[in-house]
Structure 1
Amino acid sequence: MIAETGHYALVLALALAILQSVLPMWGARARDAALMGLASPLAVSQFVLVAIAFAALTHAYVTSDFSLLNVIENSHSAKPLIYKISGVWGNHEGSLLLWVLILVLFGALVAVFGRNLPDRLKADVLSVQAMISTAFLAFVLITSNPFARVSPAPLEGQDLNPLLQDPGLAIHPPLLYLGYVGFSMAFSFAVAALIEGKVDAAWARWVRPWTLMAWCFLTLGIAMGSYWAYYELGWGGFWFWDPVENASLMPWLSGTALLHSAVVMEKREALKVWTILLALLTFALSLLGTFLVRSGVLTSVHAFAVDPARGVAILIILTLFVGGSLALYAIRAPALKQGGLFAPVSREGALVLNNIFLTAACAAVFIGTLYPLALEAATGEKISVGPPFFNMTFGPIMLPVMLVMPFAPLLAWKRGDALRAAQGMITALGVAIVATALVAGFVRGGPTLAPVGVGLALFTIVGAFAEIQGRLKLFGIPLGDSLRRARGLPTSAWGGALAHAGMGVTLLGVIGATAWASETVTAIRPGETMKIAGYELAFRDLEKRDGPNYRSTVAMIDVRKDGESVTTVEPARRLYLARKMDLSESSIATFGLSQLYASMAEERTDGATGFRVTYKPLVVLIWLGAIVMALGGGLSLADRRLRVGAPRKASVRAAPPQLQPAE
């Protein structure tokens, strides 16, 4: 009965989504306040119904209701509770329901917190959002119903894919979807603005918090997925340029460009046409990622193996919304008035340059990801585009971004002073030069340009705070006065600095983990040792352990430094009983910002066991940098001027020009 309740809730949600798609927009055209007023209650009701459906499916997983086909195919009664819950979205049908839940959640948030939106714009935004949810609710009910029953019900399920039975995969998809789907709000705002034919600084201020929120979640989702691949797949890499990995990177790059473009539009009412286009393309890339994961065109550990017919349905949705929005853009964009002019050397100019390189990097990833698929579809020829292509294209394109990023905040709006901005970067440049020289002089091995990369990373980190240093007049006035100035700085200033510094932190981690990593692959017997990066690993013994739904063989390895034991690593191999899958489980020892990574091969007939052991200096910084970036975004979002639910100003005259916040 609970499952049927969930199914009927989805049907009712679809009916409400259709009404929300039509009535508020009709009311906006007819200037009917009653019809426009229906948008918010319909959006909230739609969210409640989808939440009921999601709760019903979760209940079926937790109680092991094997009368549902979805639960049979993806769960097992012996599975730990956390993986029963994460199993809800560890499959095509359940993850699509999560996708829809987050989609209607964002619509409900606009309905509740969008008090400062004009009534017509709010009605149009919620109508466009409902059009998207209508398409996906129909897709769920027609092709991917998670509540399909089977009779008779089996006594046991087939279990979840063992690769997905991991805490990281319990967190990664919700974070990623909050990012993917969150960009739908920027899309809805853009389409609504094109319908209204009005795009101004106020529009940029309304859309920026939603874009920033989605960007923060996507940043964390990508980082969590990277870390899961690092420790779970047994090869010790954090990024393989897998097509599904790229599918999440593309909207992140486009979304980053959108954030910076929206800043220019908010401050100077410039780049209107470009900002609208970025809003459309960012969500288009999110839909593309959804298509790649679910269409069956990719073979990837990240992809759902589904009927390609479902992929065709998603392709139709993608074509409908992307094609329709771009057609509307082509009609309306020429009529949009451009804002103020600015000199090439200005903060606007630096942000435009940032946009150019970010979109070029996104285009490089797009081409490298889709070209093999397009070639195979056209000619039947299969080719592989791997890390060498992306390393040779993406890296050089992102290099100017890292160089320009610290300079932009030091330039004035409209017309900047390049010399003065360069003077503000003297400290960062000095740190970079000293660091480069020290690394080149004292660190042996690695690529020739690795020390330069370290210098660039530190230049980015230190330079990120150069603008704040200037505003605080640090070291130029008494420390107490600087602290008082610090308390008066808007949180968005600190947030922007942290987000930029996080990029440098991640770059430093990537350089350390790739340039100076060391690895050994060997087979040893109990009592023997292996050495790596100054550590001695003594293989003590193998131990048999049983988990709730698996059996494992665990290698006990003592890690010694200078003859003293410092820790123990326990790589293992697990046999998952229901699926008869044998997987390697890595073990990681963390020493400061570096890690010792050990994975285990199968035991050989001669009594030896194979191991892959890798030492990765500074690798922790890769994910720490992503957390810092997301924290910076969160601080910016906490700024009252960007707060989603900030109330309307009482009147225009209530805010004198001298009290207006400025950056």
Structure 2
Amino acid sequence: MINELGHYALVLALAVALVQASVPILGAHRRDAGLMNVAPVTAVLTLVLVALSYAVLTRAYLVSDFSLKTVWENSHSMMPTIFKVTGVWGNHEGSMMLWVLILVLFGALVAGFGRNLPATLRANVLGVQAWVTVAFLLFILLTSNPFARLDPAPLEGQDLNPILQDYGLAVHPPLLYLGYVGFSITFAFAVAALIDGHIDAAWARWVRPWALAAWTFLTIGIALGSYWSYYELGWGGWWFWDPVENASFMPWLAGTALLHSALVMEKREALKIWTVLLAILTFSLSLLGTFLVRSGVLTSVHAFATDPTRGVFILAILVIFIGGAFALFALRASALRQGGLFAPISREGALVLNNLFLTTATATVLVGTLYPLALESLTGAKISVGPPFFNLTFAPLIIPLFLAVPFGPLMAWKRADLLAAAQRLYLAAGIGLLTALAVMFVATGAPVLAALAIGLGVYVMVGAMADLVQRAGFGRVPAATAARRFVGLPRSAFGTAVAHFGLGVALVGIVAATAFSSEAIVTMKPGETQTIAGYTVRFDDVTQATRGTYDADIAHFSVMRGSTKVADLTSSKRLYTTRRQPTTEAGIKTFGFSQLYLSLGDAQDDGGRVVRLWWKSWVTLIWLGALVMAAGGFTSLSDRRLRIGAPTRRRKPAGRPVAEPAE
């Protein structure tokens, strides 16, 4: 009976979403306040109903109700409670429920925090977002019903995919979806503005906090997903240019471009058409990622569905929403004013350059991801586009972007002095160059390009702080005065600097982990040792254990530095008894910013074990840098100026010229 309540709540949510999708838009067209006020009420009610349905599904997992097909396929009575909860979104049906729950959550947040929006804009935004909700609720109810029954109910479940039985799954998908789905709001703002035919600086200021929130959560989600793959799959890599990895990376790149473009539009009322296009494109890439994961066209650890019917349904959603949005854009774009003009050498120009590199990089990843799929569908030929392609095409686009990043905040709006900005970065460039030379000196035989890239990362980090130092006046005014100015700087300025600093940190980690890591693959017996990166690893013994739903061989290792024992490591091979699926649990020990990574392989006939050892130089900087970037995003979000609408311009009195305000 309780499960039927969850199913009924989902159907009722669809009915309410249909009301939200039609009545407020009609009210906005007629300028009818009563009809427009339906939007926030229905948005909150839809959230309540979807949350109720999701709670019922979660209960079914917690009590191991195997009368539900999805619970039987993805759970087991002996699973730990935490994995029963995460198992709700560890499958296709449940993950789509989480997708829709976050979608309606953002709609309710707009209803609650968008009271300062013009009534017509809010009604159109919530109406457009409701149409997305309707589409995905129909998708769930017609092709992916999580409340489908089994009769008779099995006595035991088939267990959750073993590689998903990990604590990382408790945080990675929800955070990733908060970013992925969060861009639906910027999409709704863009389509709503095109419907209304009015886009100005106020629109950009209203959009920017939502884009920033989605970008921040997506940053954390991608970073946690990378780390989960790194330690859970036992392969020692942090990124493989997997098509599904690319599916989340492309919206991140486009979302980064959207953030910078919206800033130009807010400050100078320029790039209007481009900003609206980016808002549409970013969510379109999120929808494309959803299609890739759930259509069955990809085989990946991340992919959920293989049913072609589901793929066709999502493809129809893609065509309707992306095609419809671009068609509306084509109809309205010619009527939009371009806005303020600016010189090529200006902060606007720097941000346009940023957009150029980011969107070109996005296009490169898109082509590399879709080309093999298109070729196979047209000719039947199968090819693989992997890291060599992406490394050779992506890196040349990103390196100039890193060089330009510190310049943007140091340049004036409208017209700037490039030489003056460069002079403020002399110290950053010098420190970066000295770092590169130090790397080449300390790491004998280090690749010159790797050393220069690490120096580039340090240049970005120091350059990110240069704007704050300049604005506070350090070196030009007394230290106490400069310190007071520094503390009083806007939080958004700190957020920008911190995010750019994190970008530099991540670059250093990526380059160092790629260029200076070492690997050893050996067969070891208990008592034998292997040396790597100055550490001696001794294989102690192997023990067997049965825990919950799996049996495990657990290998114990001692890590020595000279004659001193500095750590114990364990790595195990697990066999999940229900699915008969093996997994490898890596042993990882962190030393400073580097890690010793050990993965246990198969048993050999002579009683030895294959052991893979990696020394990962500065690898933790990759994820630390991503977290610092996210901290910058949250810092900017805490700035009150990002939570209020831009003031409207006063009309000029007839017959009296008014001077243009200084920038």
The answer to whether TM tops 0.5 is: yes
**Kindly tell me: are residues 507 and 647 of structure 1, through their superposed partners in 2, closer, same or farther at Cα, counting changes over 3 Å?**
closer
Aligned to 1:479: 479
Residues in 2 aligned to 1:272 and 1:498: alpha-carbon distance in whole angstroms: 27
* Deviation sequence 1:415-444 (CA, Å, 0-9, x none): 001111001101101101111111112212
Using a 3 Å threshold, how does the CA distance of structure 1 residues 419 and 187 change in structure 2: closer, same or farther?
same
Query: Is 1:502 the counterpart of 2:502 in the alignment?
Result: yes
**Corresponding position of 1:198:** 198
2 CA distance for matches of 1:385 and 1:346? Answer: 38
Please name the residue that 2:129 is paired with.
129
CA contact (8 A) 2:492 2:637 kept: yes
Q: Distance in 1 between matches of 2:604 and 2:363?
A: 46
The DSSP-based 3-state class of the residue aligned with 1:65 is coil
Partners of 2:545 and 2:498 in 1: CA distance: 44
Instruction: Give yes or no for contact 1:77–1:157 (8 Å, CA) kept in 2.
Output: yes
The aligned counterpart of 1:47 is 47
Contact 2:205 2:646 in 1 (8 A): no
- 1:224 — aligned with what? 224
Task: Note the alpha carbon deviations across 1:523-554, whole angstroms, 9 max, x for none.
Answer: 01001100000000011100112222111111
1:591 aligns with 2:599: no
In 1: Cα distance, 2:521 partner to 2:475 partner: 52
Q: Give the structure 1 partner of residue 333 of structure 2.
A: 333
Runs of 5+ in structure 2 lacking a partner?
A: 652-660
C-alpha deviation, 1:620, in angstroms: 0.3
Contact 2:439 2:446 in 1 (8 A): no
Q: Output the CA distance in 2 between the equivalents of 1:423 and 1:118.
A: 44
Could you tell me how far 1:410 is from its partner in structure 2?
Answer: 0.5
Report the CA distance between 1:468 and its aligned residue: 0.6
- Which secondary structure state, in structure 2, belongs to the residue aligned with residue 571 of structure 1? strand
Q: Which secondary structure state, in structure 2, belongs to the residue aligned with residue 345 of structure 1? A: coil
SS in 2 for 1:559: strand
| SS of alignment partner, residue 464 of structure 1 | helix
Deviations 1:569-604 (A, max 9, x none): 101101111111111110100001000000000111
Alignment of 1:160-175 (within 5 A): 160-175=160-175
Other-structure match for 2:415? 415
The 2-side partners of 1:271 and 1:352 are apart by 9
- Amino acid of the structure 2 residue aligned with 1:108: A
The residue aligned with 2:263 is: 263
Q: Distance in 1 between matches of 2:43 and 2:317?
A: 21
State the distance in 2 between where 1:305 and 1:426 align.
Answer: 53
Q: Which residue of 2 aligns with 1:180?
A: 180
Contact 1:115 1:648 in 2 (8 A): no
Q: Note the alpha carbon deviations across 1:362-402, whole angstroms, 9 max, x for none.
A: 00000000000000011111100010000000011011110
Alignment correspondent of 1:656: none
Shift of 1:652: 7.2
Structure 1 SS opposite 2:181: helix
SS of 2:270's partner is: coil
CA distance in 2, matches of 1:401, 1:293: 30
Deviations 1:219-240 (CA, angstroms, capped at 9, x unpaired): 0000011001111111100000
Paired residue for 2:89?
A: 89
Q: Distance in 2 between matches of 1:398 and 1:593?
A: 24
Q: 1:309 offset after TM fit, Å?
A: 1.2
Counterparts of 1:236 and 1:648, CA distance in 2: 48
Q: For residue 423 of structure 1, what is the amino acid of its counterpart?
A: Q
Cα shift at 1:308? 1.4
Q: Could you give the per-residue CA deviations for residues 328-386 of structure 1, whole angstroms, max 9, x where no partner exists? A: 00000110001111000000000000000000000000000000000001111110001
Q: How does 1:333-372 map to 2 (within 5 A)?
A: 333-372=333-372
Partner of 2:159: 159
SS state at 1:570 partner: strand
Question: Could you tell me how far 1:662 is from its partner in structure 2?
Answer: 10
Distance 1:459 1:58 in 2: 48
Q: Is the 8 A contact 1:209 1:637 kept in 2?
A: yes
Measure, in 1, the Cα distance between the counterparts of 2:77 and 2:662.
59
Counterpart for residue 447 of structure 2: 447
Return the letter of the residue paired with 1:565.
K
**Partners of 1:235 and 1:94 in 2: CA distance:** 28
Per-residue CA shift, 1:317-337, capped at 9, x if unaligned?
A: 011000000000000011000
Q: Could you tell me how far 1:515 is from its partner in structure 2?
A: 0.3
Alpha carbons 1:272, 1:339 under 8 Å: kept: yes
Q: Per the alignment, do residues 280 and 88 of structure 1 end up closer, same or farther by CA in structure 2, a change over 3 Å counting?
A: same
Q: Is the 8 A contact 1:116 1:648 kept in 2?
A: no
Q: CA deviation at 1:305?
A: 3.4
Q: Find the counterpart in structure 1 of residue 148 from structure 2.
A: 148
- Compute the displacement of 1:649 (Å): 7.2
The alignment partner of 2:610 has SS state of strand
* 1:76 and 2:47 matched: no
> Is residue 2:251 matched to residue 1:247?
no
Q: Deviations over 1:160-189 (max 9, x none)?
A: 000100111121111111011000000000
Rounded Cα–Cα distance in structure 2 between residues aligned with 1:617 and 1:477: 41
- The answer on 1:571 being equivalent to 2:571 is yes
**Deviation of the 1:144 alpha carbon:** 0.4
Q: What CA deviation, in whole Å up to 9, does each residue of 1:88-144 have, x standing for no partner?
A: 000000000100000000000000110110000000000000000000001100110
Are 1:552 and 2:552 matched, yes or no? yes
In the aligned structure 2, how far is the partner of 1:326 from the partner of 1:375? 25
- Aligned equivalents of 1:478 and 1:505: distance in 2? 31
| Percent of pairs with identical residues | 61
1:301 matched to which residue of 2?
Answer: 301
Q: Does 1:611 align with 2:611?
A: yes
Query: Which secondary structure does the structure 2 equivalent of 1:614 belong to?
Result: strand
* Letter of the structure 2 residue corresponding to residue 200 of structure 1: D
**Residues 199-234 of structure 1, C-alpha deviations (whole Å, 9 max, x = no match):** 100000000000000000000000011001111111
Alpha-carbon shift at residue 651 of structure 1 (Å): 11
CA contact (8 A) 1:557 1:568 kept: yes
Q: Contact 1:598–1:613 (CA<8 Å) still a contact in 2?
A: yes
Structure 1 contact 64–76 (Cα < 8 Å) conserved:
yes
Report the alpha carbon displacement of residue 448 of structure 1 after superposing the two structures with TM: 2.8
**Change over 3 Å in CA distance of 1:337–1:600 after alignment to 2:** same
Superposition CA RMSD, Å: 1.4
Deviation for aligned residue 1:405 = 0.6
**Secondary structure at the residue paired with 1:551?**
strand
Alpha carbons 1:177, 1:218 under 8 Å: kept: yes
SS in 2 for 1:202: helix
| Contact 2:297/2:306 (8 A) holds in 1 | no
> Matches of 1:447 and 1:184 in 2, distance apart?
43
Per-residue displacement from partner, 1:457-502 (whole Å, max 9, x unpaired)? Answer: 0000100111111011123322211111012101000000011111
The answer (yes or no) to whether the contact 1:64–1:71 under 8 Å persists in 2 is yes
Output one character per residue of 1:620-657: Cα deviation in whole Å (capped at 9) or x when no partner. 000000000000000001100002xx48979979xxxx
What is the letter of the counterpart of residue 234 of structure 2?
G
How far apart, CA to CA, are the structure 2 residues paired with 1:647 and 1:636?
16
1:567 aligns to what SS in structure 2? strand
Q: Report if the CA contact (8 A) 1:257-1:359 is conserved.
A: yes
In structure 1, runs of 5+ residues without a counterpart are: 654-660
TM-score (norm 1): 0.97
2-structure distance, mates of 1:136, 1:41: 20
Contact 1:445 1:516 in 2 (8 A): no
The range that moved more, 461-470 or 477-486, is: 477-486
Counterpart secondary structure, 1:15: helix
Deviates more, 1:437-446 or 1:47-56: 437-446
- The alignment partner of 1:545 has SS state of strand
**CA–CA distance in 2 between the matches of 1:370 and 1:446?**
36
Q: Which amino acid aligns with 1:599?
A: S
